[in-house]
Structure 1
Amino acid sequence: MPRFLHVADVHLGFDRYDSKERTKDFYLAFEDVLQKYAIEAEVDFVAIAGDLFEHRTIQPNVLNQAKLCFQMLKDHHIPVIAIEGNHDNRPYGTQTNWLKYLSQDELLILLEPERSPQGEVVYEMWNGESGGYIDLDCGVRVLGSQWYGASAPGAIERLANAIQQLPPSLGHSVMLFHHGLEGQIARYQGALRYNDLLPLKEVGIDYLALGHIHKNYSEQGWIFNPGSLEANSVEESKYDRGAYLVELTSEGIQAELKKDYYQRPFVRLKVTARGQESLEQIEEMAIAQVQSAIQSKQLKPEKMPMVELRIEGQVGFDRLELDTKKLQQQLKELSGALIFLLKYEANAVEYASPLPEDATRLQIEQEVFTDLVAAHNSYKGRSTELAQGLINLKDLQLEDRPETELYEYIQQLLE
């Protein structure tokens, strides 16, 4: 029975955190997946459903990473079939890109349906240099597509019409399509509805290999999205993701998501401030949270994980008093993290005492100063006294008293 490996969103050259080690993670994940679930599993082919690269313009070392991986497959006589995604598609009006280069170097097969002068989709068989579909020796027909963006629903109709014009396939038909289904992740504009994809099933597509959304999902036993090989952000680390090892049988499709391969561990931690803690106590809480994660083995410094710690809630001091850079560096050293992300999202405690409509100016000043002082843990116990002191300080300033006298008054007030 034919077997293949379905991967998507490899994102070689990922550089969001400006870390060479983090960029290398994406290569190591791809290499390990291919070794374990393509070469050792002896699949008939590997399908890449878009976004092999993070950028259209890539560095030489990133191109070399791709070539090493594909040469490894070529040495084991495993063909690689790919399509463009939104990250690596060629800009409008250009004739080539790095996927095309790899195809011309006979390291992969880039499937691209053509357009007729009338604007219709045309599928030509792969001829060794170009084509929109290929009939493999294992009895599987693989069809390509392009990145269509918001025009995808209309493009699907044209793709289905073109597929219907092809000679019948002698076996299963697999199609690569770099778009996402609605309802899988929040805040995703332009997602397709399930009914948008049904024309492809109606013309004989047995397995629709999706990409684009970095979260694993499947639908109705014929639509499969493996998710990205590596998490592109801390937020994505909570998603299931991996690569599908697929077997096409006469009884149906057996697709198993493989997740056991090299991945950088992610750890997410949280500290909740309640507005009663001092600046020093907040720092101690953050350190204690990391230490607790190490003791529980949730965080393993020897693995050099990606770590995020969020400080949420309310703080009873000016939030800018917390030296986040210093604390972040301290926590990074303690955790052994490759990258430590400190998200400081706490707000300063605010007080707003109710005032009567006929309040005098003095009453308003007294309440405003009292609220400001009471919001700071170090001074709230003396808020009434200090508020009156601030009013007196304002009056001294209005009397044009010398600065030395003002400083002396402040010192006596704080003492």
Structure 2
Amino acid sequence: MTRVIHTGDTHIGYSQYHSPVRRQDFLDAFEAVVDDAVDGGVDAVVHAGDLFHDRRPDLQDLMGTISVLRRLDDAGIPFLAVVGNHESTRGGQWLDLFERLGLATRLGDEPVVVGDTAFYGLDHVPVSRRDDLDYAFADHDADYAALVAHGLFEPFGYADWDTETVLTESDVAFDAMLLGDNHTPDTAEVADTWVTYPGSTERASASEREGRGYNLVVFDADAAGGDDRVEIRRRALDTRPFVFVSVELRGGEGEPRVRERVREHDLAAAVVHVEITGEGDPVTPAAVEEFASDEGALVARVTDRREVDADGEVDVSFADPEDAVRDRLDKMALSTAARDVERAVRKDGVPDANVRETVKRRIEERLDEDGDLGAFKIVDGSDVVGDDGESDDSAGAVGNGSDDNDEPDDDGNEADDNESDPPEPTAEPEGAEPDDPDPAATDGQVSMEDYL
């Protein structure tokens, strides 16, 4: 029998809402998983990618992670992991550093046997490169086998990876696929194999309303019962509380009613999201957010979903801001990729908190699709942006040609008003990292080469 904790999408280093407290929360959640692993005496902790939120984690996040991994090592519990899209770099991976320090094992096509189970790994691979995969894994003589992978697999939400193809074309018959990338926990059976996501360990998006946790996976026919060889149980984590307040205003109601509804909840040290619908009087979001903070909230965000109809025709004497921006862009010699970024920043369908992840994804898709860097060459602006501000077809497709309003977030979750996102799903292309800037200009961030 082999008992392992299956976790992933810890996103250490994520300063959600630009809050240092939230940043610490993500490391604390990972530490809570390790606490349970040590207390429960499991045989291994299996991490399915996106240990870090960014491919250039700060020193404080690296040192904090190393400290947590040392606790596992001191307890004699191996840490087995794969590389996710958020942390992937063109060269060596941070996971390689931890392996060199003796604190982790990077899974691949060779089996790593723990107890009576052989573990294999499949790092995140962008869609454009998956046709080249042959799913060739070395043989093993263990009783059970599991594939740990990072990606959006069928039959789960936002899937772009055919799970049955992976299982049928693999040289190894897997008893389970332990997955990461989708922040929603779920389990299904595909081709007689259990396929499961543990979900993220902290809420990386306001769309992740359910509690966070991880999987406890047992490889043992007797423990599972019946014909099953694998038992998957969900374990909860005690994480930062999120409070969701929905307020539907009737005619004549306004900010006092919103405050009344907010006051009905326990806001102590919580992340609070207030959504306003209905009719009623105008509400100032900043005033409600300040009120929630005074009531004890760590962070407060207000979204007013109402459409405000202006009486009569509004006429202004100055140029429309959008027209002014487009006029200015027309006069600038920007590359196609730069215009991608410009549109991502200004697009109405992209929430402010999602802009960073959207821009990263757009640039990385360009790097992945345009090996000759053609999209990064300066072009005549007048040939690219038309009167409506959209790209002319002759200038090449933008990103993957899809509408941002239809895209899920980077983490496999539908984009919400707050976070990526995961944002996160089109997962970020692996190895699509721009050249490192001058070390003096990294704002305190360090690269892996400084360690290896």
Give the TM-score of the pair, scaled to structure 1: 0.69
CA contact (8 A) 2:267 2:292 kept: no
Structure 2 residue corresponding to 1:267, chosen from 237, 240, 243: 243
Number of residue pairs aligned between Structure 1 and Structure 2: 304
Give distance in 1, aligned partners of 2:165 and 2:279.
46
Return closer, same or farther for 1:14/1:201 CA change in 2, 3 Å cut-off: same
SS at 1:256 equivalent: strand
1:145 and 2:116 matched: no
State the one-letter code of the partner of 1:257.
Answer: R
The CA deviation at 1:314 is 3.0
Matches of 2:278 and 2:59, distance apart in 1: 45
Q: Report the Cα distance in structure 1 between the residues aligned to 2:213 and 2:82, rounded to whole angstroms.
A: 18
Aligned to 2:98: 102
Residue 329 of structure 1 corresponds to 290
Cα RMSD over matched residues?
Answer: 2.2
Counterparts of 1:134-283 in structure 2, within 5 Å, are 134-136=112-114, 138-151=115-128, 154=131, 158-159=134-135, 162-163=136-137, 166-182=138-154, 184-185=156-157, 188=158, 191-199=160-168, 203-220=172-189, 222-238=194-210, 241-251=212-222, 252-259=229-236, 261-274=237-250, 276-277=251-252, 281-283=253-255
Unpaired runs of 5+ residues, structure 2, are 223-228, 314-452
State whether residues 10 and 26 of structure 1, in contact with CA within 8 Å, keep that contact through their aligned partners in structure 2.
Answer: yes
Q: Which has the higher helix share?
A: 1
Distance 1:219 1:142 in 2: 19
Amino acid at match of 2:165: D
Contact 2:47 2:79 in 1 (8 A): yes
The 2-side partners of 1:347 and 1:145 are apart by: 46
Using the alignment, how far apart are the partners of 2:126 and 2:70 within structure 1?
Answer: 31
- Write the deviation string for residues 218-274 of structure 1: whole angstroms up to 9, x where unpaired: 111511110101110111123x54211111113411111101x33011111111123
Structure with more relative contact order (C-alpha pairs < 8 Å, separation 6 or more): 2
Task: Tell me if 1:61 matches 2:21.
Answer: no
Letter of the 1:70 counterpart: L
Is 1:343 the counterpart of 2:303 in the alignment? Answer: yes
Letter of the aligned partner of 1:306 in structure 2? V
| Native 8 Å contact 1:141 1:173 kept in 2 | yes
The code of the aligned residue for 1:203 comes to V
Structure with larger Rg: 1
Consecutive unaligned residues of structure 1, counting only runs of 5 or more, are 113-122, 124-131, 294-298, 352-367, 370-415
Q: Is the 8 A contact 1:313 1:347 kept in 2?
A: no
- Residue aligning to 1:111: 107
1:16 aligns with 2:12: no
CA drift of 1:147 comes to: 1.2
Structure 1: distance between partners of 2:154 and 2:26 = 27
Once the two structures are superposed, residues 9-35 of structure 1 have per-residue CA deviations (whole angstroms, 9 ceiling, x without a partner) of 011001131111111111111111211
Contact 1:5–1:43 (Cα < 8 Å) also in 2: yes
